[in-house]
A and B are shown apart, each in its own frame.
Chain A
Amino acid sequence: MSLHKLIGFLAFSILTACSISEDIIGDINEDISGPGLGQPISEADLAPWDISIEPDGSGLPAGRGTVSRGEALYNAQCLACHGQEGGGQPHDRLVGGHGTLDQLQQVRTIGSFWPYASTVYDYIRRAMPFNTPQTLNNDEVYSLTAYLLYLNGIIEEDDVMDAISLSEIRMPNEDGFIMAYPE
């Protein structure tokens, strides 16, 4: 092998070695593909897990609830943690606190702070009562939602909550938030 060819061969070898090592070490994220093992499932079959409610009310199920039924449910299942008429203690206060957000002793409740009524239904359904979550039926969740909105002065005592009426509610502090994403 002539000197000229030897230099060319060495240069080629070094270049090849470099490109291989980069291939081996590089952070794999793009162009990665999986074995395709996800199993198709129908909308009907996944429905029992699809419990989230959007701010526009989409996802709200059939059913209806009243303030009076909600009061009875609340006193039986919620009062021990959230206090008489949602006044709090030993755990979160749910009612009142209007006009306190700019004060040092803020009281953040459903009425004073929460931006969307859909969240009340969503959260009760997924996580409450604390010790027996996902045991209430749709009418019961609507009724508890109605009672808490009534205690906060957002609906009237004889208003009925269902998918349509709940999705039309505007919360007092809806404009109290500043979107931080994207920054």
Chain B
Amino acid sequence: MKSNDDTSKQIEDVAGNGLVHRRLFLTGGATLLGSMGLLSAMPASAAPLEIPPWMKAPGAHMSPYGQPSKYEQHVQKIVGGTPGVVGSGVSFTPLEKLHGTITPNSLHFERHHSGIPDIDPDQHQLLIHGLVDRPLTFSMNALMRYPTVTRIQFLECSGNSGRNLNPEPQQAPLGALHGLVSCSEWTGVPLSVLLDEAGVKPGAGWVLAEGADAAAMSRSVPLEKMMDDAIIALYQNGERLRPGNGYPMRLFLPGYEGNMSVKWLRRLKINAAPTMTRDETSHYTDVLLGGKAKILTFPMGVKSLITSPSSGLSLGQPGLYEVTGVAWSGGGKIARVEVSADGGQSWGEAALTEPVLSKAFTRFRMAWRWNGGPAILKSRAIDESGAVQPGRDELVGVYGQRNNYHNNAIQAWGIAANGEVSNVFA
């Protein structure tokens, strides 16, 4: 049996301003916590227990399609639109109200360029043509007979977190700042199977993907990516896609900016070069200081967010808290996540929750003893390629404050002495 002294050594502070070793929650009992002064003042005694009314009569009948508890109705997406343009806009995942790594389908973020089309699957077709031996169309019934793969992967809008490039930090819930990212289990047909069936000709290098929405939203995708891990997604978290996420089928490109995973996919044209559509030239290009713009910037950079505590939330009494969040990278698996409670002067390594999957949300956790004073919490992710999540100053130094895309900067949350959490640039 370990003595308290042995355990104390394992759970000593690992970084400044109260970050405690991640094994604290695994090895530390309440007695130990108390002996280390980690618990709040002893809570008042609980009230006598009573039998609640829902145990004194049978409950409700089942429903054919489940709904969240009425007490959870506040867990909603934040829907933003463009005034006067029906259907064009975004809805944000409320990341601060969710846990784990899978986003429920009803709360997956959406970005539409001309609304959600009402597509009859019996009339929908996928066309593959261009530099192929045999132009082909596929009905939904045909596609449903193809072999599938299933993977858990994130999807992030290239414009996610753009609000943090404003000169001053905006005060809004985490989801409204960073909620254009979600993570699901996607099931679909590998694109390589369909492209092999059509027979890609020599000289092909790019594939134009086009949606069946009223914007015929279209993007050019490298053929190499299409043959690697691209799928025609048919199912999301086990059920058919929702209309807002591309029903009856969407392209899904793991790790690439969300706009390229074209929803309501109707056409793939194999070309020699990129088509240079409106959504890969005038938009979704990254303007640098000096005025030049990077074009065809596809992978989403390594990134992490502390979801709790986060802006708009409030801490209670000083004492022990779990700092937790999600990390992801278009470059592969998350290798490590570091957390700071002193604005980045010192960092401690957070625990990663298994499974750690490539191009998927990875949940991290860190124990923090809040002493009731001001603090600045940050998280910094590093992926398996060695890419390190940059600070906001680094990105602003390259792009200035006008680039709307690919903002993977470290988020800082300011903790005030009264426990209120706010968005800060630090």
Q: Which residues of A contact B (CB under 8 A)?
A: 27-29, 32-43, 46, 49-55, 81, 90-91, 101-102, 104, 106, 108, 110, 113-116, 118-119, 122-123, 126-127, 130, 133-134, 176-183
Contacts and interface: CB of A to CB of B under 8 A. Distances in A.
Top 6 A-B pairs ranked by shortest CB distance?
A38-B136, A101-B291, A102-B291, A37-B142, A126-B216, A123-B278
A178 B276 contact: no
A118 B276 contact: yes
23 contacts: A29-B192, A33-B196, A35-B145, A36-B197, A37-B145, A38-B137, A38-B194, A46-B137, A52-B269, A54-B273, A55-B275, A101-B293, A104-B402, A106-B402, A115-B295, A118-B276, A123-B278, A130-B85, A130-B114, A133-B214, A176-B292, A178-B292, A183-B299
B229 interface: yes
Main secondary structure of the interface of A (DSSP, over half): loop
B195 to A, nearest CB: 11
Given A127-B113, A177-B285, 7 more contacts: A34-B189, A37-B138, A52-B218, A52-B269, A176-B292, A176-B293, A178-B294
Given A46-B127, A91-B85, A177 B137 contact: no
Interface residues of B, number: 67
B116 interface: no
A176 B291 contact: yes
Nearest to B215: A127
Contact of B297 (A28, A50, A180): A180
A183 B406 CA distance: 15
Interface of B: 82-85, 113-114, 127-129, 134-139, 142-143, 145-147, 149, 189-190, 192-194, 196-198, 208, 210, 214-218, 222, 229, 266-267, 269, 271, 273, 275-278, 281-282, 285-299, 400-402
A153 to B, nearest CB: 18
Contacts of B190: 29, 32
Contacts of A32: 147, 190, 192-193
Contact of A46 (B135, B193, B216): B135
A70 B316 CA distance: 63
A124 to B, nearest CB: 9
B208 A52 contact: yes
B198 A38 contact: yes
A178 B295 CA distance: 6
A181 B222 CA distance: 9
Contacts of A118: 276
Contacts of B298: 180-181
A40 B134 CA distance: 6
Contacts of A53: 275
Contacts of A27: 149
Contacts of B215: 126-127, 133
B129 A50 contact: yes
Contact of B134 (A28, A38, A123): A38
B229 A42 contact: no
Contact of B138 (A39, A101, A104): A39
A55 B276 contact: yes
A41 B125 CA distance: 12
